[in-house]
Chains A and B, each alone.
Chain A
Amino acid sequence: MTDQDHDAPIGEQELESDRPGESLSRLLGDANASAGSEPDWEKIDEKLFSRIEQEQAARSKEQRGGKVLWVAFAGTLAAAAAALLFMKNVPVAPVAVDDAAHAGSFLSSRGATVQVGGAVAHEGQSFAAGDRLDARDGSPLFQQEGNAVFDLEKDSAVSVQHAASPLVLSLERGATEAQVTPVPNGEAFAVDIVGKDGAVARVAVHGTHLRVARAGDHVVVDLTEGVVSVGTPARRGSTYGSLVTAPAHVEFDIADLEHSLVVDHGSATVRAADALAPEVKTAAVSTHNASAPPPGVRHDEPARVDHVTATAAAVVTAPKLSNVDPTPAVIEPSPSAEQDLAAAVRACVSAIPHAPEVTVTISSTLSLKVGDDGFVQAARFDPPLPVDAQECAARSIYRKTRFVHGGDVSVPIVITR
């Protein structure tokens, strides 16, 4: 039988009424019931993503080749502009790294062999969206000028998913720790963790010091400063998830983030911050100025909370987030905790400036998981509020408000102003 003899026209009616005969139907049923054995997904995944990495590396090289002159020119312009502003003593905004071809640079190897985009990298080399950063035998430092400094712990790897606003790293294995300069609006930095089944969890930050580690699909976040949102990446805007304030030790499974999320604010469980800042090479307009941890705090030491006072750049007006009192005053359970929180959230939202001629109505639900001790363990706004309002609210939600009973609490928030 050839391919030429089957396109001969058949009557429309004959085609309409065409059905498989009974023998064929029976055999089709049998065939459908036996779909074959499951492929070796581990083997396929490994080979497939290795090939895709090579594709990405080739693409990045092409992009960089084409844009190298433009980047050099833009860099010269930025440096000149920064120098001029600095001389005039005018506050300088952090450099926005919008160019997808440049996400940051490899700052210091600290004894590691580092690969960027599949090739051995040297200090000072830039990396781009799509690049994979792979650390062996050490813990190298990377930076995005003016925004974040992060390390990769030994034998860790990330891929750069998004170059800026926010800088998004996908943690493939191991751990990364970051010091992120607060930004006035939105999220500055995020770590995605993709599970084996394709589910994605995101730890997104506005400005903070955090460490994210994974062991398979189990994720551990240690937060020593600021506020993070742990949830799923939003299509646009802020990450939809639970707000967590420092100090906090967070654990969850990617496949079931909502039910597996455990937040422990006990200072004894939070891993101490690593010293990322002392090796930061000041960029032309770098605003990063975090200080070292106290002497004697080792990277792998189990943790007590040490307040590494990362000073936000003087030019950034975002509130300083690191002053968490490790010994808060005794807070009595309050029967009006729900109303108190609703009022605090309203105050936070009201503090956000808006055009006076516009009436704004904000409607959200604050879902709280309250522990047996009456303190909030996890909080989530659905839909999310503006990032600044959420961070402001988080300061009232955690450790400042105590419910009489534990359990799940839902607080409707409707604000018209």
Chain B
Amino acid sequence: MTDDEDLIARASRGEPAAFRTLYARHRADVARLIYRMLNGSADVDDVVQEVFVQVYKSLKDFRGQAKLSTWIHRVTVNVVLMHRRAARSRPTYSEELPPETTPDDRHVGPDEDADRRARVRAFSALVERLADKKRVVFILHDLEGVPPHEIAEIVGAPVLTVRTRLFYARRELETLIAGEPLLSHVRGTFSKAAGGEP
């Protein structure tokens, strides 16, 4: 029995300490994935909480058919997608900006950190424009480093479908990057360094 299996068994029996240990082990990964999937929305804290409540409730049904981390990723993705759907159905009165994006931030100084933050914000906004299925696969693979066969378990699709979604997500993003004025500097750098990019 692995350490995780032992903790799962004990947490399923209602041992608070075992659940706390599982939570402590996985919370940072979960928070990072949520942050990326919600594009840094202010709701990250609430969604982290919701994910672990769902993990707690469902732990007794976990049969070890996947790695615990994969299963927790799956719960996370489902909770985030539900959260996004719910958020879309709520009325909004103004355009919501990610927490770090304030009007002043748009006039950043010349330092590299500020440039990088601006690029990341612009890039995140483009990722946000991808359809849910492609966005999930892209974030899990290219940002979180999850291998395709695990993503297949997380999203409940064949590995080939996962790789196809990833292919189209990258192509679409590259097209979006090409049309994004805030990222012209990145394109320019590579055009000079590599003699142009398709």
Contacts and interface: CB of A to CB of B under 8 A. Distances in A.
B53 A43 contact: no
Contact of B116 (A10, A33, A35): A33
Interface in B168-198: 168-170, 172-174, 177-178, 183, 186-187, 189-190, 194, 197-198
Interface stretch (A45-53, A105-113, A240-248): A45-53
A194 B21 contact: yes
A20 B170 contact: yes
Among A24, A26, A199, A200, which residue has the most Cβ atoms of chain B within 10 A?
Answer: A24
Interface in A156-214: 159, 161-162, 168, 170, 192, 194, 197-200
A162 B16 CA distance: 10
A22 B194 contact: yes
Contacts of A34: 116-117, 120
Contact of B170 (A2, A5, A24, A41): A24
Nearest to B170: A20
Contact of A47 (B24, B49, B130, B132): B49
Contact of B119 (A10, A30, A197, A198): A30
Interface in A3-34: 3, 5-10, 14-15, 18, 20-24, 26-28, 30-34
Interface in B1-41: 1, 6, 13-21, 23-25, 27, 31-32, 35-36, 40
Interface residues of B, number: 65
Nearest to B169: A6
Interface string B28-65: 00011001100010001100110011001100000000
Do most interface residues of chain A lie in helix, strand or loop, or is the interface mixed? mixed
Nearest to B132: A3
A26 B167 contact: no
B74 interface: no
A151 to B, nearest CB: 20
A363 B31 CA distance: 45
Which 9 residue pairs are nearest across A and B when measured between Cβ atoms? A198-B24, A130-B14, A6-B168, A36-B35, A161-B15, A27-B123, A198-B21, A3-B131, A22-B190
